[in-house]
Chain A
Amino acid sequence: MHQRVLAASVGIAALALALTVVLLAQVPAAAQAPKAATPAATKPAPATKAAPAAKAWTVPRTPEGVPDLQGYWTNNSYTPLERPNGVTKEFYTLEELRQVEKKNAEREEEQTTPGTVADVHYDFTQFGLDRSQTRLADNLRTSVITNPENGKLPPVTPEGQKRAADRAAERKKQGAQYDQVQNIPIGSRCVWMNAGPPMMPPGYNPAYQIVQSPGYVTILVEMLHETRVIPTDGRPHAPAGVRSWMGDPKGHWEGDTLVVETTNFNDKVAFRGASENMKVTERFTRTSDDAIRYEFTVDDPSTWERAWKGEMPFVKIGGPIFEHACNEGNYGIANTLAGARKEEKKAAEEAAKKISTK
């Protein structure tokens, strides 16, 4: 929303990527579009397709004998991280879910209305920038968060509150959003999007490919061609000084579940306000030919009073995944900054004119 208005005021066609950020579930406040108005879209394993309590189904295995998670997957979903205000139950009925999906899809489609600002730069349908064009990973849950049971993030610790205030103050010192590229949200800058962890669904391009080789599970994330190469050989985490956006993932198998523990985040990820000490534990369990259950725990005692958990399904889609070269074609950043400079110049000229005519 915010982005669209800004783009208009700058008087240029802003980039698609700005919209990405609006759509991204993990982006704080701004991203949480109309919260109460748009109930979470989730959806269950649809009774229709999802293997009807498969009798004979057994977990497929790789040549090495571990569960086979390979293939193309999506977690495409309207389900918000936190339960919307006004929703008190944990699950929707399938009928309610379809309503929620419909409402969300309509909201996204509004952006294709001819003559509107949002429609100026993109044809959502043409470029696949709305979720309804990809299979939805049905999830009946009203929030991704399963614990706390109210579907909301736990209370933030005093230390976490102070950090949030410090970060906000620091951002403010850097000036307005279009003063310099560094002030623009990282998603728009093609630095970090939805690879996580935790791997939250993006606003578009919600595709993943899992490839397994001996001792590794590798997840290619379509957005930003991010690749998580996860060793499962029991090696320790990288030294504390080795920090990164996606962190240092180390995996192991617990029965038929892939458990991935990620640490060593940098202090810029700040997922939902987290510190660099955040630890994310993910659990991938193949539940049918068509689905993987994805559960995660976010543990950062310096930010939240307790660890919190989430869950969502990944379901099968067709491939292949095409190269998402983001930085290479990020004309929107240059255009937006140039527009802002132009507007400043114009304002300065007008101010000067006023003075001279006085």
Chain B
Amino acid sequence: MRARFLGPMMIAAAALLEAAPAPPQAPAQAPAYRAPRTKDGKPNLNGIWQAVNEANWDLEGHGAAPGPFWQLGAEFSVPPGMGIVEGGPIPYKPEALQKRKANFANRMNLDPEIKCYLPGVPRAMYMPYPFQIVQSTDPIMMVFEYAGAVRTVYMKKQPAPADSWMGWSNGRWEGETLVIDTTDFNDLSWFDRSGNFHSDALHVVERITALAPNHLNYEATIEDPKVFTRPWKISMPLYRRIEKNAQVLEFKCVEFAEDFIYGALRKVPLK
């Protein structure tokens, strides 16, 4: 077994060294896989991708739970998940943990997803919808189905003009890995439907590496000294939507959220 694996791995490793003269900061997953290249010689991450996990319900491990309204029965109940946080619970500061609990208690009013607000980062990456990586030399865009959210990753570093929901992303290649440094968030987005949150001091560093033709490894280090005692990390695979006709479709959810947001102000109340 071992002997058989060694050969290809060494070849792949050699190829990696050849392709990446700058010593790559060995990504945690140390992929032996070498992604196909774009015409400009970079790992080709183009495609439609999707997380297949339950992080959007709760980043941390959780059991199944009922949905918010009994009328919905089993539909829209919470699927159980192992969680994607590495190394134990999210390291909240004590007062922040209180806020997280309050968020959870009032999540059906407060979760920005209910209002079709922009999801922020990293939440956009693991919502249960596909997104497309549109990779030119510069920029690399990510187009999300949910709410038509979009990220522009500048490969030539640009300063953020102001705070925003999706933050300001500057990217760079480290060998096989696309490293994205995102700052200048506002403090309004959440990480999931469970009230996990951040402040405007959020700083996210993502590392995206192809594991195989149809799989990416995604990890993000989350730093926010106002909310957490230390940086912490999430990781998960992203799967290519390999259907021949796969497409990121239009999911404009604003219309669906309007009565939630403005319903109390109707002339004729909702029944």
Instruction: State in angstroms the CA–CA spacing of A179 and B266 once bound together.
Output: 6
Contact B39–A180 (Cβ < 8 Å): no
Contact B255–A191 (Cβ < 8 Å): yes
In B226-263, which residues have CB < 8 Å from any A CB?
244-245, 247-250, 252, 254-255, 257-259, 261-263
Q: Which residues of A contact B263 (CB under 8 A)?
A: 181
In A207-263, which residues have CB < 8 Å from any B CB?
209, 211-214, 216, 218, 220, 224-227, 229, 231, 235, 238, 242, 244-246
What does the 1/0 interface line of B168-185 toward A look like (CB < 8 Å)?
000000000000000000
Contact B252–A323 (Cβ < 8 Å): no
Contact A181–B152 (Cβ < 8 Å): no
Contact B148–A337 (Cβ < 8 Å): no
* Number of chain A residues whose Cβ lies closer than 8 Å to a Cβ of chain B: 49
Contact A181–B254 (Cβ < 8 Å): no
Tell me if A328 counts as interface (CB < 8 A to partner B).
Answer: yes
Contact A70–B258 (Cβ < 8 Å): no
Instruction: State in angstroms the CA–CA spacing of A242 and B39 once bound together.
Output: 34
Q: Which residues of A contact B135 (CB under 8 A)?
A: 213
Tell me if A41 counts as interface (CB < 8 A to partner B).
Answer: no
Q: Which residues of B contact A225 (CB under 8 A)?
A: 118, 148-150
Contact B265–A328 (Cβ < 8 Å): no
Q: Which residues of A contact B149 (CB under 8 A)?
A: 225
Instruction: State in angstroms the CA–CA spacing of A212 and B267 once bound together.
Output: 47
In A148-186, which residues have CB < 8 Å from any B CB?
175-176, 178-182
Contact B136–A229 (Cβ < 8 Å): no
Contact A245–B267 (Cβ < 8 Å): no
Instruction: State in angstroms the CA–CA spacing of A333 and B166 once bound together.
Output: 23
Tell me if B46 counts as interface (CB < 8 A to partner A).
Answer: yes
Contact A325–B165 (Cβ < 8 Å): yes
Q: Which A residue's beta carbon lies closest to that of B258? A: A181
Given that A229-B132, A340-B267 are contacting pairs, would A211 and B139 also be in contact in the complex, using a CB cutoff of 8 Å?
A: yes
Q: Which residues of B contact A238 (CB under 8 A)?
A: 245, 247, 249
Q: Which B residue's beta carbon lies closest to that of A182? A: B258
Give the Cβ gap from B129 to chain A, nearest Cβ, in Å: 14
Given that A190-B254, A244-B250, A328-B118 are contacting pairs, would A323 and B164 also be in contact in the complex, using a CB cutoff of 8 Å?
A: yes
Contact B267–A341 (Cβ < 8 Å): yes
Q: Which A residue's beta carbon lies closest to that of B147? A: A327
Tell me if B78 counts as interface (CB < 8 A to partner A).
Answer: no
Tell me if B73 counts as interface (CB < 8 A to partner A).
Answer: no
**Among A225, A321, A340: residue with most chain B CB under 10 A:** A225
Tell me if A30 counts as interface (CB < 8 A to partner B).
Answer: no
Q: Which residues of B contact A229 (CB under 8 A)?
A: 132, 134, 143, 247-248
Contact B165–A191 (Cβ < 8 Å): no
Tell me if A64 counts as interface (CB < 8 A to partner B).
Answer: yes
Q: Which residues of B contact A341 (CB under 8 A)?
A: 265, 267
Tell me if B201 counts as interface (CB < 8 A to partner A).
Answer: no
Contact A180–B268 (Cβ < 8 Å): yes
Q: Which residues of B contact A192 (CB under 8 A)?
A: 252
Q: Apart from A191-B252, A227-B141, A344-B267, what 15 extra A-B contacts exist at CB < 8 Å?
A: A178-B267, A181-B265, A190-B254, A211-B136, A213-B134, A214-B39, A214-B46, A229-B248, A245-B250, A323-B164, A323-B166, A325-B118, A327-B116, A328-B118, A337-B265
Closest 7 pairs (CB-CB, A-B): A63-B39, A337-B265, A244-B250, A179-B267, A323-B164, A181-B262, A180-B266
